[in-house]
């Protein structure tokens, strides 16, 4: 009995709730939010080669199908087998993004695939729009028929619509979007004015979540960031789930999923005005952007494209780029292809050496 009594005597002071030795309850901390890139799982496939069978390859096949690299989906679900079709799709993807054409999932290819990007396919009906070039140089592209706002609409209006809520104040949002529009106004004959939504604006801007009725649902944090429609539709949709940075330096943002709102807005406004994507990586109209990155200055490729549609602002102080388009390489001459996306239909054209077409972001 003595050992037992002695042990109890020692333990009691520590278990007595009023003792100074008792530990206070731990504070309740809010859970750390998880921001998951819908394509982050592709990192687990790095190093996969033809003939491999790895869980997750089916998701990669779906990704490549969504962006046009695998044209014919199976009657059921995609499999996890690294087959010939996947190898061919990867080689084409690598060619389009100027990566080493290896045919397997090397780290550079995986890293490119996981970048936030627009929802427009890179390949339509088996033809790569990104591969179109004039003497080896990829140019800006246009929507089908080179649609533009008519000269009677050179003074465009825009308004914000009441959609999904985001943690950006009305005044800040107004300032950021105005600044994005001004970058295009500086080089063209267009002007842009914010008005109330009841004023029948030319352009409407809003944040949306998931399936929002236009046939192109958003996918949550990262993945597809935004999309816009060609003139004179005027719709500009942003994914409400993104970690948007509207104020301060996005490069020092605490979230690794931070996306600069102005950078995306400048890009999408290019679509609203009639520009498609370009393979010129430095251009605003390049289809991907990294997190914590600010990219708002128009490149020469952007300037050439927009000025060919609307003319040059007489007060534009940038270097005037050459606007003469060289004759098309015979390997590309006469190309025409139909494509459907969402509720729209476009046709990529090459007329008199000018590459035209749609890319929707």
Binding residues for Zn(2+): 118, 212, 214, 227, 237, 267, 271, 277, 285
Residue with tokens 């087998």: 81
Cα–Cα distance, 99 to 111 (Å, whole number): 11
Q: Decide: 158 and 193 in contact? Cβ < 8 Å.
A: yes
Cα–Cα distance, 57 to 138 (Å, whole number): 31
Encoded tokens for 316: 């534009």
Q: Decide: 122 and 67 in contact? Cβ < 8 Å.
A: yes
Partnered with residue 258 across adjacent β-strands are: 243
186 burial type by CB count under 10 A (0-12 exposed, 13-18 middle, 19+ buried): middle
Cα–Cα distance, 98 to 51 (Å, whole number): 25
Active-site option among 198, 268, 297, 300: 268
Cα–Cα distance, 84 to 92 (Å, whole number): 13
- Which residues contact residue 13 at a Cβ distance below 8 angstroms, ignoring those fewer than 6 apart? 19, 21
Alpha helices in the chain (DSSP H): 2-15, 57-66, 84-96, 107-113, 170-185, 261-272, 300-310
Q: Is 268 a catalytic residue?
A: yes
List, as residue ranges, the binding site for Ca(2+). 202, 219-220, 239, 242
| Helix (H/G/I), strand (E/B), else coil: 105 | coil
Cα–Cα distance, 338 to 334 (Å, whole number): 13
Alpha carbons within 13 A on the beta-carbon side of 53: 3
- What is the set of active-site residues? 268
């Amino acid at each position: 009995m003595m050992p037992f009594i002695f042990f109890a005597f020692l333990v009691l002071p520590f278990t007595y709730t009023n003792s100074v030795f008792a530990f206070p309850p731990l504070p309740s901390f809010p859970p750390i939010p998880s921001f998951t890139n819908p394509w982050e799982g592709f990192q687990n496939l790095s190093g996969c080669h033809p003939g491999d069978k790895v869980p997750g390859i089916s998701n990669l096949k779906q990704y490549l199908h969504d962006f046009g690299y695998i044209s014919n989906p199976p009657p059921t679900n995609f499999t996890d087998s690294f087959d010939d079709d996947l190898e061919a799709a990867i080689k084409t993807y690598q060619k389009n993004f100027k990566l080493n054409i290896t045919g397997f999932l090397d780290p550079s290819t995986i890293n490119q695939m996981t970048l936030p990007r627009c929802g427009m396919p890179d390949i339509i009906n088996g033809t790569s729009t990104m591969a179109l070039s004039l003497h080896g140089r990829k140019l800006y592209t246009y929507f089908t028929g080179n649609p533009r706002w008519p000269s009677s609409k050179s003074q465009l209006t825009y308004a914000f619509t009441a959609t999904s809520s985001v943690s950006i104040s009305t005044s800040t949002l107004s300032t950021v979007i105005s600044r994005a529009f001004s970058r295009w106004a500086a080089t063209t004959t267009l002007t842009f004015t914010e008005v109330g939504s009841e004023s029948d604006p030319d352009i409407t801007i809003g944040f949306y979540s998931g399936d929002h009725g236009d046939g192109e649902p958003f996918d949550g944090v990262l993945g597809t960031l935004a999309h816009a429609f060609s003139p004179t539709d005027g719709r500009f949709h942003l994914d409400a789930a993104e970690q948007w940075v509207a104020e301060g330096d996005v490069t020092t943002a605490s979230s690794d999923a931070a996306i600069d709102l102005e950078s995306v807005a400048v890009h999408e406004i290019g679509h609203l005005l009639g520009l498609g994507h370009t393979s010129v990586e430095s251009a605003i109209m390049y289809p991907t952007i990294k997190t914590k990155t600010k990219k708002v200055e128009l490149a020469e490729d952007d300037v050439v494209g927009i000025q060919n549609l609307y003319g040059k602002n007489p007060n534009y102080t940038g270097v005037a780029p050459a606007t003469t388009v060289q004759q098309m390489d015979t390997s590309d001459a006469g190309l025409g292809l139909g494509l459907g996306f969402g509720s729209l239909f476009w046709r990529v054209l090459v007329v008199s050496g000018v590459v035209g077409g749609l890319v929707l972001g």
